[in-house]
Chains A and B, each alone.
Chain A
Amino acid sequence: MFTCKYAFWESLRRPGKTLFVALVVALSMLGWLFINAYAKALFSAHEKVMRPLKDARIDFLVTSPRTDAGKNLPAGGNEVTFVEEKGQITPGQRFTKDEINLNSLRIFSSREMAEIAEYPSISQLVPALIVQVTRTEGRYPEKIVVEEETVAPLSPEEKKAIDAKLKSNPEYQALSGKYAELQGKVAANSASEEEKKQLQETLRKMQQIEYSYYPERFKKFKAKEIKPPPVKASQTRFVVAGIDATNPDFGLLSKAEIATGSYFSANNAAEVILRKDFAEEKEIKIGDVFSLRDKQLKVIGFAKPTTGLSSAEVYLPLGTLREVVKNEGANVLLVRLKGVERAAKFKETLAKILPDSQVVEPQEMSSQISGALGKTEVLIKEYASFLVAVIVLASIVIVTISLVLTLTARRNEIGVLKVIGWSHFGICRQVAAELVIQTLFGILLSLAVALVLLVVVNNLDLKLNIDFNSVEKNIFGSEYKTFELFHPQFDWVAFLKGSLAALCLAVTVAFLTVSVFNWKTPFKKMEQRGE
């Protein structure tokens, strides 16, 4: 206690020296803390990129992209002209039209898929279908122009001529006879079901013959033609992935990636899983109905994909999507091999079966994407220790010089302590206590400065852009993603380690300095004068 009190007052008596030592210690500590914080931030950034791709548990992702695919939509709305030929448009009614683009990736033929599946090294082959949907949404105009055309009725002469021609047609005559006979049976309630059907069929054939004798104007007749004006409609594009629901643990969306709700019940169920952010943006809830073209799908869950293999917003069971797009194929093949060592051989075989295919290896892809991060991390790891060593060494030298100067100035005081019975250890302990207090000031200073600086650094909004474009645009959908990865955080463990090391070094420096210089008495000068 006395030692601490003495050391504290001594540190206050020499504020300049105390501040100097504290600053040196604080600078060293800041260097250590920032190197640690940055190394850790880079490491976690590296991990963040690597993890999803590593977790994919897929050896190959095979696609065959088309070069003419992927035209971007203009921003905002589009002028869309509707010509409704079949149904009736209700003015002011909302409409949704989904245009499905299957052209970005080539559809693999069943023969090609069968050939790949036959490869003996394949452990699992899962097909998937990825389509881009352009959704046009808007409202029909309130006023729609309807043009009506009237056709002149048949004149008596025309009717007479048609009747004459029909009577002379032997086929028509036979049909008329059959019709009269069947109608008689129906009237007498003696007709069988088969005969009733024959009656309808006979009538249809007779009408066809009659129609062929009618003038041309009747054949081109259109009762109404609706000509709605162009409407302002908004267009959005999203990616829909059809996934094999029979493989819930393997593929573009696994069961583990469902954030809320459930996974598909069957491969042809009228169910849909939406990416969580997409659902939030569209304000869709679980249980709502999501339509794709005319297919009504029940929203059963929200997904948070972690593998990074697909950036689809909408997931459907493969069978359901095939039904919607009226295509039984697959344009993405997910392959798991029996052993990684067979990868090179498999790639060779694949190149023969599908010469135009593109193979993505998640492991390789992860290395490509995070390569720069990995290098930086290694750089930090390799050079940080050297840098820290230089900083610490420089600090030790500076603090030692400062201590020597101070002790020289306090030579008399140290001598007095010896005279009144203080041992060498006692003096070392006293000097060490003083240095420990000054080091503690430095540690506290570094803590305050580091916390403030890290807040400033993190407010600079540093981000890392990872270019996915070079990897596979069609699979990832977006051209590149921005991850908010780089957030150096205060590392309390590093701080405690650094503090402990600084305090240990302070004690060591104090003991060594006092021992090496070993001030004996305060009276050297007097002795030299020979008093």
Chain B
Amino acid sequence: MIKAVNLSKTYKMGEKKVEAVRKANFEVDKGEFFVIEGVSGSGKTTLLYLLGGLDRPSEGTVEIDGQDITRLSENQLAKFRLKNIGFVFQTFNLIPTLNARENVEAAIVPTGMPAAERIERAMNLLKAVGMENRWHHLPGKLSGGEQQRVAIARALANNPKVVLADEPTGDLDTKTGLKIIEMLKELSLNNGQTVIVVTHAPYVAEYATRRAKMEDGVLTFAD
């Protein structure tokens, strides 16, 4: 499903070169709940962005369903992400001027789906994450957990093959965080979607079908 080969990313910080990701080689199968642990600054978010095509690797390739996304142009990547990848962020990144339903709709708009159908789909997704009664609220009026649930609904808007979650529980209390993780776990179990979660919360790892650890840009697998 996802294949990273010699994946590396190097930044320049002034005179200094920082190797955020060092020759990562791994594969993630369909339906896996893959958790990458690591402390802050270990390079795990960079790895996630490389996998999602949000950033270009300095070296190596990323294949998703046999498609090398490192060779795609910006617009091709946008289209690819639209159909294949859903993102969940630590800070939710909802659009503040749009209500919950519109935030979900925003992810469907580029597909050109008719408005009525788009609204219905957005409401179904909100229902799936238990937010159907709060659809008209702006993000500012929602709690952190509620915002993250909306963000998950948005990530699933186009039924992607892969869901990439960057510290999805980072801004949530443990109880809410657990609910979110359970929700993501259900996705991989019920829909067969591949979920890759980057986290430093130890309890998240317990849900993983496979775990890896990131230390100074080097990815190591637990077993």
Contact = CB atoms under 8 A, between A and B. Distances in A.
A528 B49 CA distance: 13
Interface stretch (A229-237, A241-249, A415-423): A415-423
B106 A424 contact: no
B106 A417 contact: yes
A420 B43 contact: no
Interface string B92-106: 010111100010011
Interface in B173-196: none
B3 to A, nearest CB: 22
B97 A531 contact: no
B129 interface: no
B13 interface: yes
Interface in B154-188: 154, 157-158
Interface in B102-134: 102, 105-107, 109-111, 115, 118
B212 interface: no
A526 B97 CA distance: 24
Interface string B55-87: 100000000000000000011001101110001
Given A522-B93, A531-B40, A423 B110 contact: yes
A513 to B, nearest CB: 17
Interface stretch (A4-12, A24-32, A212-220): A4-12
B44 interface: yes
B54 A419 contact: yes
Contacts of A418: 78
A101 interface: no
Contact of A424 (B74, B83, B98, B102): B74
B98 to A, nearest CB: 6
A175 to B, nearest CB: 129
A309 B102 CA distance: 74
Contacts of A420: 81-82, 87, 106-107, 110, 154, 157
A55 interface: no
Contacts of B18: 530
A531 B110 contact: no
A522 B133 CA distance: 30
Contact of B98 (A6, A522, A530): A6
Nearest to B38: A531
Contacts of A9: 97-98
Contacts of A529: 41
B8 interface: no
Nearest to A422: B110
Interface in B18-65: 18, 20, 40-46, 49, 52, 54-55
A424 B49 contact: no
Given A6-B106, A416-B93, A420-B154, A530 B79 contact: no
B75 A523 contact: no
Contacts of B49: 521, 523, 527
Nearest to B111: A421
A521 B49 CA distance: 10
Contact of B78 (A2, A13, A424): A424
Contacts of A2: 102, 105-106, 109, 115, 118
Interface string A401-431: 0000000000011001111111110100000
Nearest to A413: B95
Given A419-B81, A423-B110, A527 B46 contact: yes
A164 interface: no
B11 interface: yes
Interface in A461-508: none
B87 A526 contact: no
Contacts of A188: none
Given A1-B115, A6-B106, A527 B55 contact: yes
Contacts, number: 96
A6 to B, nearest CB: 6
Contacts of B74: 424, 520
Contacts of B107: 420-421
Given A1-B115, A413-B95, A530-B46, A424 B41 contact: no
A421 B41 contact: no
Contacts of B42: 531
Given A2-B109, A421-B110, A416 B95 contact: yes
B47 to A, nearest CB: 10
A421 B40 contact: no
Nearest to B87: A419
Contacts of A523: 45, 49, 54-55
* Residue of B46, B81, B95, B98 with highest tally of chain A CB at under 10 A: B95
B168 to A, nearest CB: 14
Question: Which one of B40, B42, B98 has the greatest number of beta carbons of chain A within 10 Å?
Answer: B98
B78 A521 contact: no
B158 A5 contact: no
A403 B60 CA distance: 37
Contacts of B118: 2
B81 A521 contact: no
Nearest to B94: A416
Contact of A423 (B78, B102, B106, B158): B78
Nearest to B81: A421
B79 A423 contact: yes
Nearest to B99: A9
Contacts of B55: 521, 523, 527
Contacts of B20: 527, 530-531
A306 to B, nearest CB: 62
A423 B79 CA distance: 7
Contacts of A1: 115
A13 B96 CA distance: 9
Given A6-B102, A527-B20, 7 more contacts: A12-B97, A13-B96, A413-B95, A413-B96, A416-B93, A420-B87, A531-B44
Interface of B: 11, 13, 18, 20, 40-46, 49, 52, 54-55, 74-75, 78-79, 81-83, 87, 93, 95-98, 102, 105-107, 109-111, 115, 118, 154, 157-158
28 contacts: A2-B109, A2-B115, A3-B109, A5-B102, A6-B106, A10-B97, A412-B93, A416-B95, A417-B95, A417-B106, A419-B54, A420-B82, A420-B154, A420-B157, A421-B81, A421-B107, A421-B111, A422-B106, A422-B109, A423-B79, A424-B78, A527-B46, A530-B11, A530-B13, A530-B20, A530-B41, A531-B20, A531-B46
